[in-house]
Amino acid sequence: MMNKKILITGGSGNVGQHLSQLLLRKGYEVVHLSRSKGKNPKIETFLWDINTQKIDEDCIKDVDVIVHLAGAGIADSRWTAKRKKLILESRTRSIQLINDLLKKHPHQVNSVISAGASGFYSDRGDEWMTEESAPNKDFLADCSIWWEQAVDEALALGLRVVKFRTGIILDQKEGALPKMATPIKLGIGAPLGSGNQYVSWIHIHDVAMMYLKGIEDENLQGAYNMSTPNPLTNTELTKAIARTLKKPLWLPNIPAFLLKLIFGEMSAVVLGSTRMDVHKIMATSFKFRYPDIDSALQEIYE
């Protein structure tokens, strides 16, 4: 089991960094595939360029498992046509580049573990989404479908494929939580839109542990929802953050029309309601360390 070699794309991102550290502690050899040289002396970085479709062929040498995390941030800037193209192609063309390399070169890779998105289901009200639920019909869903299809091309190479449809990752420094916590710390926090939209969230520790499970448990195959068993409404989550930070919430909800005005189509990220069911991953004996919001936020802010 130990001393397997893991290649991570998007290794310099938040999830990639947490997973890399976890794998190194567990005795794995970790290498990254990146646009620029990494800073960690324990991790060799191979270079690729998705735009020019160049890749260092040595990146797959002696690799057992590929973890595909590369992709431009969904909520980093307004969704222009150019931005949407980047969001999609940074996910699909990157894994296609790797699959093409695997087709051409001898290798010992046996599994591809990929990030996916809760955006597959997108805005579904208070309905519970299982891995069998049909995808939605908007940009987030289309992007998720094409992403998963690109990853699934590895099945034709006889590889095991696992896709984690990831909810909102809670971490102190990166992602959604700092954006939500900052106005609350300033005393101007408020729920968004109706506040009734569901947020399927997960602590960064449990994210890294679920990827480890995907790497180590070869019975895992196909899509899994990556979220806690306890999704919250936007109002509940906002109140929980305020409670942990010991800050009052006194402002009215920020109206949906205002968010649409500011963020355009990207407002779907915060106004959409996705309530993911995680019985499938729990049936594999995976245990969440932070299944409830209070324990998750206490760990993050203590």
- Contact yes or no for 9/66 (Cβ under 8 A): yes
Structural domains of the chain sorted by starting position, each given as residue range(s) with its CATH number in brackets: 5-301 (3.40.50.720)
What band does 115 get if pLDDT is binned at 50, 70 and 90? very high
What percent of the chain has pLDDT above 90? 84
What band does 261 get if pLDDT is binned at 50, 70 and 90? confident
The backbone region for 217, taken as left when phi is positive above 0, alpha when psi lies in -120 to 50, beta otherwise, is beta
User: Region 94-99: what's the mean pLDDT?
Assistant: 95
What band does 2 get if pLDDT is binned at 50, 70 and 90? low
User: Region 139-157: what's the mean pLDDT?
Assistant: 95
pTM to 2 decimal places: 0.95
Distance separating alpha carbons of residues 246 and 108, to the nearest angstrom: 52
User: Region 13-19: what's the mean pLDDT?
Assistant: 95
From the list 273, 298, 287, 9, the residue with the least C-alpha distance to 167 is: 273
214 secondary structure, DSSP code:
H
From the list 34, 36, 38, the residue with the least C-alpha distance to 21 is: 38
Distance separating alpha carbons of residues 145 and 125, to the nearest angstrom: 20
Average pLDDT of the chain to the nearest whole number: 94
254 secondary structure, DSSP code:
B
User: Region 33-53: what's the mean pLDDT?
Assistant: 92
pLDDT on residue 270: 85
210-234: pLDDT as tens digits: 999 999 999 999 999 999 999 999 9
Give Cα 295 distance to the centre of its chain.
Answer: 21
pLDDT of 257 higher than 80? yes
What percent of the chain has pLDDT above 70? 99
pLDDT on residue 264: 85
